[in-house]
Amino acid sequence: MSESHSIHNKSIALAESAQALSHTLSVDWRLLPYDIQTNRAHVAGLKRCGTLSAAIADSITQSLDRLMNDYRAGNLTHEGCSDEDVHSYVERRVIADIGDNGKRMHTGKSRNDQVMTDSRLYLKDHIQAIGSELQAVLRALGELAEQHTRTIFPGFTHFQPAQPIVFAHHVMAYMTMLQRDYDRLMQCYDRTDCCPLGAGAIAGTNYPIDREWVATQLGFSRVSTNSMDAVADRDFMIEFVSVSAIVMGHISRLCEEIVLWASPLIGFIHVGDAFTTGSSLMPQKRNPDIAELIRGKSARVLGHSVTMHHLVKALPLTYNRDLQEDKPPIYDTVDTVWQSLAALADMIPTITVQQAAIQAAVTVGHL
């Protein structure tokens, strides 16, 4: 194939079906503020090293600031945009704002190291948010346990009455599980807190840059040590969805017990009306729908964990387009875990223990 023929082929637009399959702007739109942040720090680094003049760097930075202000004001939308992804959207907007100097924003970086920097910034923020909700659940459980340090409760094995315990001890078993989850989440945060910017597409860049300085500007504690691994690594994502699957498994077990205990057949607890619903045919019922939904959503997060493991299991180094599929499982896991923990933290304080039913239960068998 001649060089001219090759260049001509590169100018041919993708088929509509190929664009529909490959364009991701609507998916990675939530990375927009992080993409602006990454570009801003990168440009500042280029200015510091003399790769960009102060005038050009300042012009790009001011344009990025205007774009961020529009984002925060709710004035941006991806509807009707034909950009391939969030990176091309930001670049197009800056070029439209300040002209061809906007293209200099991309000097010395690739979308490969940029998207990983954006993703790590995004996940750092949301790991902290999920950790806060996990702590809220722990506080709610702790307050429930404190109320029942002397409430005799039937302990079960095989869901058969086994030995008498106090209700606080049962509740604190879940606190112990969730504290482990919190510890795992913070360990995941530490491994996410590593800046890949500067890795380029695969082998770094020949422009003078200061990776450590830029990483500090972005709030990272360190930089990646291998450029190939930096753009291919999805371990921190896999770890996050795996930890999230364990979290959801634990709160699913708790919600299963809430569903059982709230049944009139057992009647150990009463769940507040704000977290139960009536049946369409029998409105007098009090269905523990929120606990059931959390229990069901655990399967969803477990599925995302499996997806992430399968996504990378046979990929050669470094970047492959398969990795574009890492974002939907991560985003849905973030949303699902955060919403589930928030609802659980609000539901637990509405639980009231039904002493009469419990006292009757501890007389069954040989308790």
Please give the backbone phi and psi of residue 355, each rounded to the nearest 5 degrees, phi first: -60, -40
Confidence of residue 262 (pLDDT cuts 50, 70, 90): very high
Q: What is the pLDDT of residue 11?
A: 58
Residue 320 has pLDDT above 90, yes or no: yes
Residue 233 has pLDDT above 50, yes or no: yes
> What does pTM read for this prediction?
0.94
Once rounded to an integer, what is the mean pLDDT over residues 234-252? 98
Q: What is the pLDDT of residue 3?
A: 40
Q: What is the pLDDT of residue 7?
A: 38
Show which residues are catalytic.
158, 279
Residue 5 has pLDDT above 70, yes or no: no
Q: Cα–Cα distance between 25 and 82 in angstroms, integer?
A: 8
Per-residue model confidence as pLDDT tens digits over 151-185: 999 999 999 999 999 999 999 999 999 999 999 99
For residue 257, give both structure tokens.
Answer: 């017990």
Q: How far apart are the first and last CA of the chain?
A: 85
Once rounded to an integer, what is the mean pLDDT over residues 107-135? 98
Residue 352 has pLDDT above 70, yes or no: yes
Q: Cα–Cα distance between 187 and 332 in angstroms, integer?
A: 21
More confident residue, 286 or 219: 219
Confidence of residue 278 (pLDDT cuts 50, 70, 90): confident
Q: Cα–Cα distance between 120 and 14 in angstroms, integer?
A: 30
Residue 200 has pLDDT above 80, yes or no: yes
Once rounded to an integer, what is the mean pLDDT over residues 186-205? 97
Residue 325 has pLDDT above 80, yes or no: yes
Q: What is the pLDDT of residue 1?
A: 39
Q: Cα–Cα distance between 43 and 31 in angstroms, integer?
A: 18
In this structure, of 249-258, 262-271, 272-281, 302-311, the range with the lowest mean pLDDT score is: 272-281
Q: Cα–Cα distance between 342 and 130 in angstroms, integer?
A: 9
Confidence of residue 10 (pLDDT cuts 50, 70, 90): low
Residue type, 54: A
Q: What is the pLDDT of residue 366?
A: 78
- For residues 294 and 343, the answer to whether their CB atoms sit within 8 Å is yes
Q: Cα–Cα distance between 261 and 269 in angstroms, integer?
A: 6
Q: Tell me what percent of the residues of the chain surpass a pLDDT of 70.
A: 97
Residue 189 has pLDDT above 90, yes or no: yes
Residue 6 has pLDDT above 90, yes or no: no
Q: Which residue has the tokens 């945009």?
A: 81
Q: What is the CA radius of gyration of the chain?
A: 26
Once rounded to an integer, what is the mean pLDDT over residues 60-83? 97
Residue 338 has pLDDT above 80, yes or no: yes
